[in-house]
Structure 1
């Protein structure tokens, strides 16, 4: 995949990809056009004070959580599919995958659950 994120200045970046090769299902396009990505990135940068002293309107806050949660669920599904690839294609052990994902090789049962979920998502 040739998705690139280029820092253009202190607080700016440019994201580029090839629509056909990098985004055959349209996930990237939809996340940008629906503002999911913008809301999720805003959430990453938000201070903890925003939870106790919110400045956004209620409607804005509802949209933000909706889009952030939707993108989060999509990323969880994509990570599960990646676990299937790591195990089935690369032959990696549950232990090695757990170390990569959780920084804890003992979390093998969590990786197996992700694997099962990933197989369901790809229809295997």
Structure 2
């Protein structure tokens, strides 16, 4: 994996990547805009203490923006799994949703991924 996350001790980690690993700039943007920080905070503290309304709105927006980006990227990965690896809908659903019966969800993701790819 070209992007590495290294636990540096205690509750610290370091994220590293090369310029070529982020051709779209999404990764850099998530770090520089604090999207990643806000999303990780939301994961770590599902019910954080309320702060200032504008700050909390900004944090929620950043988290939601990153969640939408991740949904799009996951949909593109489903296209790759299906088209390049010829995996069955059932196998993809079994891994992604822990239920082979969720094939229709995987097909919707596939169609979304195709739209994002422009194909």
Q: TM-score category by the smaller chain?
A: over 0.9
Structure 1 length as normaliser, TM-score?
Answer: 0.93
Correspondence for 1:104 among 96, 99, 102: 99
RMSD: 0.9
* Helix, strand or coil at the partner of 1:5: strand
- For the pair 1:121 / 2:116, whether they are aligned, the reply is yes
**Hey, what does 1:7 align to over in structure 2?**
7
For residue 57 of structure 1, report the CA deviation from its aligned partner: 1.2
**Hey, what does 2:26 align to over in structure 1?**
27
* Helix, strand or coil at the partner of 1:2: coil
What 5-or-longer segments of structure 1 have no aligned partner?
A: none
**Hey, what does 2:16 align to over in structure 1?**
16
Q: How many residues matched?
A: 119
Alignment partners' CA distance in 2, 1:91 and 1:28:
28
Alignment partners' CA distance in 1, 2:117 and 2:10:
39
For residue 47 of structure 1, report the CA deviation from its aligned partner: 4.1
For residue 55 of structure 1, report the CA deviation from its aligned partner: 3.1
Deviations 1:16-50 (A, max 9, x none): 01111x100000000000000000000000043x3
Q: Which runs of 4+ in 1 moved over 6 A?
A: none
* Helix, strand or coil at the partner of 2:5: strand
Structure 2 length as normaliser, TM-score?
Answer: 0.96
For residue 110 of structure 1, report the CA deviation from its aligned partner: 0.3
What 5-or-longer segments of structure 2 have no aligned partner?
A: none
**Hey, what does 1:62 align to over in structure 2?**
57
